[in-house]
Structure 1
Amino acid sequence: MSLRARVTWLAASCVAGAVALVSLGAYFTVRQNLYDQVDATLIQKANNAASSTISAEVQGQSVPAAFLTLTDIQFALIDSSGTPVVSVTNHLPPIGRDEINVAAGKDADNIRTDARTDTRVFSLAYRGGALVLAQSLQPTKAQLADLSLVLLLIGGAGVLVAAIAGTAVARTGLRPVQRLTRATERVARTGDLRPIIVEGDDELVRLSHSFNQMLSAVSYAQDRQRQLVADAGHELRTPLTSLRTNLELLLSAEAPDAPRLSDEDRVEIHDDLRAQLDELTQLIGDLVELAREDAPQLTRERVDMVEIVEQALARARRRAGDVKFEVDLQPWYLLGEPAPLERAVLNLLDNAVKFSPPGGTVRVDLRPAGHGYAFLQVADAGPGINDADLPYVFDRFYRSDEARTLPGSGLGLAIVKSAAQRHGGAVYAGRSADGGALMAVRLPGTQDTSLG
C-alpha cells in the first residue's frame, strides 16, 4: 500500500472512529431519554387518574372520570386476583405477577417492559386493587430507527468526506516526497546531481533541503575526486616521462652498433632513475595516505599529543642532517587516531627541515590556547612563504615557485590539513619570528589526563 493510500485510510479510519463514538453516544442518550419519557408519561397519567375526584359510571361501577381520558393507552383496573374490574380500551394491558403483587398490596407500584407485547407496563395500587396502564414501544422504536438511519447516513458522508480530504492532503503533502523520489531516480539513472526546486518551510521541505545538501556534498566529493585524479595524473606524468626517457636511453645504448655510454653518463642516468623512483614512490605513498585520511573514522582512542610529537621528532631527527630542533611541549590530550596525527606532525617537521638552511633551527611548541584548544606550531628559519602563496599552501599538489626545484609531491601539507580537520581542528600558515615559515595546527582537547 502506498503512503498516500495509508494516509487516506488513516484519515478515514480516524473520522469513522470519531463518528462512530459520537453516533453511539447520541443514539443511546436519545434512546434513554425516549424510554424515560414513556415512563414519565405513564406515571403522570396514572397519578392524575388516581387522584381525580370526579366520578363516572363505567360498567356498572363508579370510577374517577379521569379514567375516561386514558383511551390513548391500554388501561385496566384489576382486583387482587388479577381479574380486570374496569377497562375502557378494546385491548387489556398485559397482566402479570408484578401487577397482581401491586393489586394485593405487596408493592405500591411497579413498572416493567413486557417482551411479548412489546409494551411498557405501569401498575399503581388503587382502592384495594391496582390501576394498570400500558403503552406500546413501537412508536419509540420507530423514532430510534429513524435516528439510526440519519446517524448512519451522516457518519458515512463524514467518512467519505474525510477520505476525499485525506487523499487531497496526502497528494499535496507528499508532493515534496514525489519530487525527492524522482530526483533520487534521476540521480541513480543519470548521475545528475543538480538540486531539486524547494518551496515552503514545512518538515518535508526541510527534508528536501537536506537532500539538496547531500547532493551538494556528493557533488563536491566527486569534484574533489576528479581534481585529485587529474592532479595526480599531472604529477605522475613528469617522473614517468623521465623514467621512460632514461630507460629508452639505456636500452638504445645496448643496441648493436649503437654508441656506448660512458661510465659517468651511465652513473648519472642510474642516479636519475633512483631519484625518479623515489619521487614516484613518495607520490604514490602520499596519495594512499591522503585517501586513507579521507576515509570515515572507525575508532577513536585517547591520544597524548606530547607522545605523538616526540615520536615524530625521533623520526625527523634521523633525516634532518645538521638541522636542530628546539622543543617546548605542554601536556595535551584528545580523542582521535594516533597514526594520522603522527604522520601530520612528521610532515610539518619534514617540511620545516627541507626549507631550513644548513645548521638552522626548527622550533616546535605545543601549548594550550584556551576554550578547549591547543596550538602545535612548527617554525623554521628558511626563506618563508610569499604572501600570494599563503592561502594555497595546504591545497593538494600546490607548490610554490621556490618549492618546485625541491623534492616533494605537494601533498604533505594537504595531509596535515586533512588530519586536522578529521579531528575537529584547523591549520594556519604565516611567517615565523626568524623570517621563515610558521605552520600551526589547532586541535581540540584538554590537559586533563583522565580523558577517555
Structure 2
Amino acid sequence: MERLGAGPTSGGRTTLEDPAHTSADGSVAPTGAPGERRDDEEEAAPPGLIRHVLQGIPLRRRVGILVSVGGGLLVALIAAAVFFTAQRALYDQLDESLVQRATVAASGDLADPSLLLRVSSDALAAGEVRVAIVTAGGEFVTLRGNSPPLGAAEVSAARRSPPTSVRTGVIDGEVYRVVAVYAGEDRALVLAQELDPTRRTLSKLAVVLLVAGASGVLLAALTGVAIARAGLRPVERLISATERVARTGDLRPIPVSGGDEIARLTSSFNAMLAALSSSIDRQRRLVADAGHELRTPLTSLRTNLELLMASEQASHRPDAPRLSEQDRAELQADLRAQVDELATLIGDVVELARDDPPEVAAEPLDLADVVERALDRARRRGVAENVTFDVDLASCEVTGDANALERAALNLLDNAAKWSPPGGRVRVTLRAGVAPERPGTAVLEVADAGPGIADEELDLVFERFYRSLDARTMSGSGLGLSIVAQVAERHHGGVSASRAPEGGALLRFWIPRS
C-alpha cells in the first residue's frame, strides 16, 4: 500500500493529475490571461469590401460563387455536426462501458488489494485496461508498470464525494479514460483504458468527412455554375436582344417560355419593343405623308415665284411680255395664301409629331367658355363668312389644357364651315353626358348641312392626312380632324363621326367632366 505523493515516483506511484486542465476528449485547454487576444484571431472583413469585390464580378459568376459558398458552408456545418456527434457518442459509450465494468468489478473480489496483486499485469495490458485501488486516505494499490493515472478525483470517489468520477488522464505519454467507483470500506476501484483506438476511429471518420465535404463543395460549385447558367439564360437573351436592337435597330420580339419572373420581364420587354416599333412606324408614316402633302404647295409656290421673277426680269426689256397689274396682284395674293397654307401645314405636322402631351399644367375650366372663344375666331375667318352658327352651350366643368381644347373646337368649326353651302347653318351643341353610352362626360357636337361623309369613310376622317376625293380639290392638309382626335385622346376622351339630321356630317368630341 502506497500513498499518493506530489511528485513523480517509480513503480506504482504516480503524480496527482489536475482534471481542470484536461478536456473530455484528452485535449489540453489553452492558457493565458483573460481577455488576451490570440494571435490567430482575425478581424472580420468589412461588408463594403465584400460588396465591392462582388460588384466587379459578372452576374453569372457571382451567382455561381454565392451558391458554391452557400453549399460549401452547408456541407461544412453538416460534416462538423456529424463529427462532433460521433465523438460525443463514442466517448459516452466508452464511459458507460467503463463505469459498468468498474461497478461489476467493485462488487466482486477484484476490489480486494491482495487479489489485485495476484492478477497478471500482462493480462490487464492485453485488454488495454489499467486497474488500481485507492483509499480515502490517498493510499493506493496497483500493479507495477500497469498503474493508471491517479489523482484527487479518485480519492474523492473513495470518500463518496461523489462516489463515481470520470475524467481523462495522461501517463507515460499515453492518454487514458479514467473511471473510479466507490467499492466500500473507504476504497475506490479505478479502471483506465487507452483512448488511442477511439481516436483512431475518429481520425478515420474525420478523413471520410473531409473527403465527402470536399466532394460536396465541388458538387455545390458545379451545381452553382449550372444554376447560374440555366437561371440567367433568359437574362442573357434579353441582353443579346438589347444589344441587337442598339446595333441593328431590329425590333423583333423575343420568344417567351414559362411563366416565371424572367418570362414576365421578357413579355414586358417585348411590349416595350412593340410600342417602340409602333412609334417608329407612326413617325415614318407621318414623315412620308407630310412629304407628300408638302410637295404640292411647295411646287405651286415655286412656280408662282419663278413666274414673278420672270416678269420682273422681263420689265427691263422693252419687247418682252409683261404681267398686268391685275395678274400681278392675283399672283401676289396666291403667294400669300400658299405661304399661309404651308405655315398651317407645318404647324399641324409639328403638333402631330409629338407623341407625348405638351408639358402644360391641366387646369379646371368651363368647356363652354373655350367653345365661345373658338366661335369668335371662326367667325373672323374668311371660310365662315357665309355661314351661320346655331349655338347651344351648357356649362361643363372639365380639367385640361385650354389652348389644346380651343384648337380642337376651332378645327371642328372650320371643318363644318368649309363643307357648308353658302348661307348654310352649322349647329353647335355642348351638353353634359348627352350620349347614354358616355355618362359623366362633356360632349361637343358640330353638325353641318353639307354633302356629308360616306359610310365607308366614317372611320377614316380622323386619320392623319386622310382626304376624300371631294376634299382634294379644296384647301386643307387633312390634319385638322387628326389634331382633334389627338387632343381628345390626351384628355382621356374620344371622337366619332356620323350623319347629321341636317344631311351633312355630325362630329362628336367628348372628354370626362371634373
TM-score between both structures, scaled by the size of structure 1: 0.87
What secondary structure, in the 3-state scheme, does the structure 2 residue paired with 1:410 have? coil
Between 1:263-272 and 1:194-203, the stretch displaced more is 194-203
What secondary structure, in the 3-state scheme, does the structure 1 residue paired with 2:471 have? coil
Q: 1:450 matched to which residue of 2?
A: none
Report the AA paired with residue 121 of structure 1: V
Change over 3 Å in CA distance of 1:92–1:10 after alignment to 2: same
Matched pairs, number: 440
> Separation in 1 of the partners of 2:339 and 2:333?
10
Q: 1:18 matched to which residue of 2?
A: 74
Change over 3 Å in CA distance of 1:220–1:61 after alignment to 2: closer
Change over 3 Å in CA distance of 1:304–1:26 after alignment to 2: farther
Task: Tell me how far 1:214 sits from its aligned partner.
Answer: 2.4
Between 1:198-207 and 1:214-223, the stretch displaced more is 198-207
Residue 323 of structure 1 contacts residue 356 of structure 1 at CA under 8 Å; is this kept in 2?
Answer: no
Residue 363 of structure 1 contacts residue 380 of structure 1 at CA under 8 Å; is this kept in 2?
Answer: no
Report the AA paired with residue 18 of structure 1: L
Between 1:388-397 and 1:363-372, the stretch displaced more is 363-372
Task: Tell me how far 1:345 sits from its aligned partner.
Answer: 2.6
Q: 2:182 matched to which residue of 1?
A: 125
Q: 2:471 matched to which residue of 1?
A: 403
Question: Is 1:392 the counterpart of 2:460 in the alignment?
Answer: yes
For residue 220 of structure 2, the aligned residue among 153, 158, 162 is 162
> Separation in 1 of the partners of 2:397 and 2:425?
28
- Alpha-carbon displacement from aligned partner over 1:86-112 (angstroms, at most 9, x marks no partner): x35843121112222232444322222
> Separation in 2 of the partners of 1:81 and 1:22?
49
Gaps of 5+ in 1: 448-452
Change over 3 Å in CA distance of 1:403–1:111 after alignment to 2: same
Report the AA paired with residue 164 of structure 1: L
Q: 1:98 matched to which residue of 2?
A: 153
What secondary structure, in the 3-state scheme, does the structure 1 residue paired with 2:477 have? coil
- Alpha-carbon displacement from aligned partner over 1:404-424 (angstroms, at most 9, x marks no partner): 233222111111112222233
> Separation in 2 of the partners of 1:392 and 1:231?
15
What secondary structure, in the 3-state scheme, does the structure 2 residue paired with 1:140 have? helix
For residue 362 of structure 2, the aligned residue among 280, 285, 301 is 301
> Separation in 1 of the partners of 2:485 and 2:498?
15
Residue 102 of structure 1 contacts residue 110 of structure 1 at CA under 8 Å; is this kept in 2?
Answer: yes
What secondary structure, in the 3-state scheme, does the structure 2 residue paired with 1:398 have? coil
Change over 3 Å in CA distance of 1:159–1:107 after alignment to 2: closer
Change over 3 Å in CA distance of 1:137–1:297 after alignment to 2: farther
Q: Percent identity?
A: 49
Q: 1:268 matched to which residue of 2?
A: 330
For residue 346 of structure 2, the aligned residue among 284, 288, 292 is 284
Question: Is 1:40 the counterpart of 2:96 in the alignment?
Answer: yes
Q: Give matches, 1:36-435, under 5 Å.
A: 36-52=92-108, 59=114, 71-85=127-141, 87=142, 90-114=145-169, 117-126=174-183, 127-255=185-313, 256-257=316-317, 258-292=320-354, 294-295=355-356, 298=359, 301-304=362-365, 306=367, 307-319=369-381, 320-321=384-385, 322-334=387-399, 336-357=400-421, 358-368=423-433, 369=436, 373-435=441-503
Report the AA paired with residue 340 of structure 1: A
Change over 3 Å in CA distance of 1:310–1:14 after alignment to 2: farther
> Separation in 1 of the partners of 2:227 and 2:509?
53
Gaps of 5+ in 2: 1-56
TM-score between both structures, scaled by the size of structure 2: 0.77
Residue 462 of structure 2 contacts residue 482 of structure 2 at CA under 8 Å; is this kept in 1?
Answer: yes
Report the AA paired with residue 8 of structure 1: G
Between 1:12-21 and 1:319-328, the stretch displaced more is 319-328
RMSD: 2.9
- Alpha-carbon displacement from aligned partner over 1:179-204 (angstroms, at most 9, x marks no partner): 33222222222222233444444433
Change over 3 Å in CA distance of 1:83–1:373 after alignment to 2: farther
Task: Tell me how far 1:284 sits from its aligned partner.
Answer: 1.0
